[in-house]
Amino acid sequence: MQFFFEVLIGGLLSGVLYALVALGFVLIFKASGVFNFAQGAMVFFAALTFVGFLEVLPGWTGLEEGGRAVFWLAFVLSLGAMVLLAIATERVVLRPLVNQPPITLFMATIGLTFLVEGIAQGIWGANVRGLDLGIQDEPIEYMMENFNILISSFDVFAATVAAILVAALALFFQYTRIGRALRAVADDHQAALSIGIPLRHIWVIVWAVAGFVALVAGMIWGARNGVQFALTFTALKALPVLILGGFTSVPGAIVGGLIIGASEKLAEVYVGPFVGGGIESWFPYILALGFLLIRPEGLFGERHIDRV
């Protein structure tokens, strides 16, 4: 039983990270109706940029390597890079494709994925890099002693960060002018335009916010598994989460992430051995698919009626 909980909690914690990536998708889909396949590439780009700055900044500025100053400067610069990416994306991809069918925009983001990956590696190189955020990746003694459950403090940290981020975003959407504008755009582009919200700004902002989410997700994933090309696959993990949670629902992304994370780990551990293992790659998809057949609009998605 303890083992079960260990697996479950481990799964839930990695689910938090899936949720974080999925959150980026949802933000963009809500605001611009674009299914952004490049979210994974953005995670990779952000993490790579961050570690890249960590490496080069001491040389450029004379700051102490591994110090706090370098960390925050690199963070701010990376954030800046994500904003630039958002602006460039809006300018080069979204604006010319405005009013195209969503499927076209989706395919464009696949192209964008390749572009972003190529650019990231072109600038920073393709080596695997480690990232140390200063958080120990070791079991929490308290849990060990009292419940005999092995839980990494890093995972808890990651979950906390994710929770804070989600809460912050929720507040942002609920209580700021920009946040309300974003929601207005999601509901009805025409309406948003007619009350004087410049659509282009909204897009840039939302892509930048998604970039910020990608940066945080990239840092956490990177710190855990190293910053490498495999980060782009996080996007593939996030897709079943979206199906489960619905494309437009922030809570859906979180709950979906947790379900996917937990169930994939449980399945791997309890079902995997019987079929040769490695089912993590497809299990979430089959799960999501099965779910989809029952509820095509996802957990929290809105039912859509075809008007004729």
Partner 1 sequence: MLYREAGQFKASYEADQQIFPILQDRVGVLLLIGFFALAVPLFADQYWLKAILIPVLIFSLAAIGLNILTGYAGQLSLGSAAFMAVGAFGAYNFMLRIDGMPFLVAILLGGLCAAAVGVLFGLPSLRIKGFYLAVATLAAQFFIVWALVKIEWFSNYSSSGVITAQEIEILGFAFDGPVSKYLLTLFVVVVMALLAKNMVRSTTGRMWMAVRDMDVAAEVIGIRLMRTKLTAFAVSSFYCGVAGALYAYTYIGTVEPEGFNLDLSFKILFMIIIGGVGSIMGSFLGAAFIVLLPIALDVTVPVLLGDLVSASFVSNLQLIVFGGLIVFFLIVEPHGLARLWQIGKEKLRLWPFPH
Q: Which residues bind partner 1 (CB under 8 A)?
A: 35, 92-93, 96-97, 100, 102-104, 106-108, 110-119, 121-122, 125-126, 236, 239-240, 242-243, 247, 275-279, 281-282, 285-286, 288-289, 292-293, 296, 306, 308
Rounded distance, CA 151 to CA 308, Å?
Answer: 54
Query: Taking the complex as a whole, how short is the minimal distance between the CB of residue 182 and partner 1, in angstroms?
Result: 20
Q: Which is nearer to partner 1, 121 or 153 (CB)?
A: 121
Q: Which is nearer to partner 1, 5 or 233 (CB)?
A: 233
Query: Taking the complex as a whole, how short is the minimal distance between the CB of residue 222 and partner 1, in angstroms?
Result: 19
Query: Taking the complex as a whole, how short is the minimal distance between the CB of residue 284 and partner 1, in angstroms?
Result: 9
Q: Which is nearer to partner 1, 53 or 247 (CB)?
A: 247
Query: Taking the complex as a whole, how short is the minimal distance between the CB of residue 259 and partner 1, in angstroms?
Result: 16
Q: Which is nearer to partner 1, 66 or 102 (CB)?
A: 102
Q: Which is nearer to partner 1, 66 or 296 (CB)?
A: 296
What length is written for the chain? 308
Q: What is the 3-state secondary structure (H, E, C) of the chain?
A: CHHHHHHHHHHHHHHHHHHHHHHHHHHHHHHHCCCCCCHHHHHHHHHHHHHHHHHHHHHHHCCCCCCHHHHHHHHHHHHHHHHHHHHHHHHHHHCCCCCCCHHHHHHHHHHHHHHHHHHHHHHHCCCCECCCCCCCCCECHHHHHHHCCCCEHHHHHHHHHHHHHHHHHHHHHHHCHHHHHHHHHHHCHHHHHHCCCCHHHHHHHHHHHHHHHHHHHHHHHHHHHCECHHHHHHHHHHHHHHHHHCCCCHHHHHHHHHHHHHHHHHHHHHCHHHHCCCHHHCHHHHHHHHHHHHCCCCCCCCCCCCCC
Query: Taking the complex as a whole, how short is the minimal distance between the CB of residue 25 and partner 1, in angstroms?
Result: 10
Rounded distance, CA 66 to CA 176, Å?
Answer: 35
Q: Which is nearer to partner 1, 42 or 143 (CB)?
A: 42
Query: Taking the complex as a whole, how short is the minimal distance between the CB of residue 290 and partner 1, in angstroms?
Result: 9
User: What is the amino acid identity at position 22?
Assistant: A
Q: Which is nearer to partner 1, 177 or 304 (CB)?
A: 304
Query: Taking the complex as a whole, how short is the minimal distance between the CB of residue 286 and partner 1, in angstroms?
Result: 6
